[in-house]
Amino acid sequence: MLVHIVNSGNKAFYAAFLEEMFVQRKKLFVETMGWTDLPMIDGIEKDEMDLVEGVEYHLIFDKSGDLIGHCRYNPTTSNYLLGTAMKKYVMNPIQEGHDCWEFTRFAPSWNFDPKHKKLALGYLCTATLEWSLMRGVKKLLGIGEENLVQLALALQWPTRRLGTPIEYDVGRQALAFEFSITQQALNATRSYFNINAPVTLMLPPQIGKSSISRDDIAFYDAAMNAREPIAA
C-alpha cells in the first residue's frame, strides 16, 4: 500500500484516478453517508474546492494498484471551506497563510472493506504528516465528528478546537479543529499504526507516458516496500 501525492505538477498524469476518486466520493459521502446536500458537477461528488488553484490530493492504492482511499488539501491562501461555506463552524481565529492548509473529504477506505480500513487509516494519517512536514505546513484545519478529534489526540497531534459542535444531521454533530504538525506527532502515528517506513510517493510526469497505470502503481508499491525500515 502507498499514498501518492497529486498536485498541479502531476495532476494530468493521474487524471483517470482522480475521476475515479470523484465517483467513489459520491458513493461514500452521498449514497452511503447520506450527505445529499453536497454539490455535484457532472453527476459526481465534486465542488468548487476541487477547482481551487493549488489543491492537492492523497490517493491510497493497494499493492494491486487499486484506488481504495483519498483526501483533499486546500491552501488557506485561496478559498477553503472553513473560510467560506462552513464558516459558521469557526468561532476562534485562524492564522491563514502558506503554512496553513485545510484537509477535507477524508476517506481512508471508501468502501469500508474491513481488511483495508484500519491499515488505510494509518497510511492516510501518516501520509498527511509526512506531506505536511515536506511541504512546510505547520497547521492543518478540518471539520468532522468528535471521533476524529479523539483519534488525533490518541496519535499525539496537538489539537485546538475552533468552535463548538453543530448539528448537521439528526443526531449527528461536527466541529472545526486545527492540528499542529510536528515530528513527534509523525513518530507517534507511525508507532500507533505499526508503520516502519515512509508511505508517501510523489511522482513527476514521466517522459513518454501521458498517464499512470495500475501496473505502474503496483510496481512502485513493490519497490517501495523493498526498502529498509526506518531506523529506531
pLDDT at residue 204 tops 90: no
136: left (phi over 0), alpha (psi -120 to 50) or beta: left
Q: Looking at the domain assignment, is residue 185 inside a domain?
A: yes
Q: Encode pLDDT of 69-93 as tens digits.
A: 999 999 999 999 999 988 999 999 9
Q: Which residues contact 150 (CB under 8 A, 6 or more apart)?
A: none
The three-class DSSP label of residue 198 is coil
Which of 61-65, 104-108, 113-117 comes out lowest in average pLDDT? 113-117
Q: What whole-number distance in Å separates Cα of residue 130 and Cα of residue 183?
A: 9
pLDDT at residue 27 tops 90: no
pLDDT at residue 229 tops 70: no
- Give the per-residue pLDDT at 225: 80
> SS3 for 6-47, per residue?
ECCCCHHHHHHHHHHHHHHHHHHHHHHCCCCCCCCECCECCC
Residue with cell 491562501: 77
- Give the per-residue pLDDT at 195: 94
Q: What whole-number distance in Å separates Cα of residue 186 and Cα of residue 182?
A: 7
CA separation, residue 191 to residues 149, 185, 195 (Å) = 18, 10, 6
Q: Which residues contact 16 (CB under 8 A, 6 or more apart)?
A: 211
In terms of residue numbers, what domain contains 61? Answer: 2-141+180-224
pLDDT at residue 232 tops 60: no
Higher pLDDT, 21 or 36: 21
Domain count of the fold of the chain: 1
Q: Residue 89 has which C-alpha cell?
A: 463552524
The chain-wide mean pLDDT, for the chain, equals 88
Averaged pLDDT, 95-102: 96
Q: Residue 150 has which C-alpha cell?
A: 479523539
- Give the per-residue pLDDT at 47: 84
DSSP letter (8 states) at residue 183: H
Burial class (CB in 10 A: 0-12, 13-18, 19+), 113: exposed
- Give the per-residue pLDDT at 228: 58
Q: Looking at the domain assignment, is residue 166 inside a domain?
A: no
Q: Looking at the domain assignment, is residue 161 inside a domain?
A: no
- Give the per-residue pLDDT at 30: 67
Q: Looking at the domain assignment, is residue 152 inside a domain?
A: no
Q: What whole-number distance in Å separates Cα of residue 228 and Cα of residue 232?
A: 12
Q: Encode pLDDT of 122-176 as tens digits.
A: 999 999 999 999 999 999 999 988 989 999 999 999 999 999 999 877 778 889 9
Instruction: Work out the percent of the chain whose per-residue pLDDT is above 90.
Output: 62
Q: Looking at the domain assignment, is residue 203 inside a domain?
A: yes
- Give the per-residue pLDDT at 152: 94
Question: Tell me, what CATH number does 126's domain have?
Answer: 3.40.630.30
Check if the beta carbon of residue 106 is closer than 8 Å to that of residue 127: no
Q: Looking at the domain assignment, is residue 98 inside a domain?
A: yes
Higher pLDDT, 227 or 167: 167
Q: Return the number of other C-beta atoms located less than 10 Å from residue 39's C-beta.
A: 11
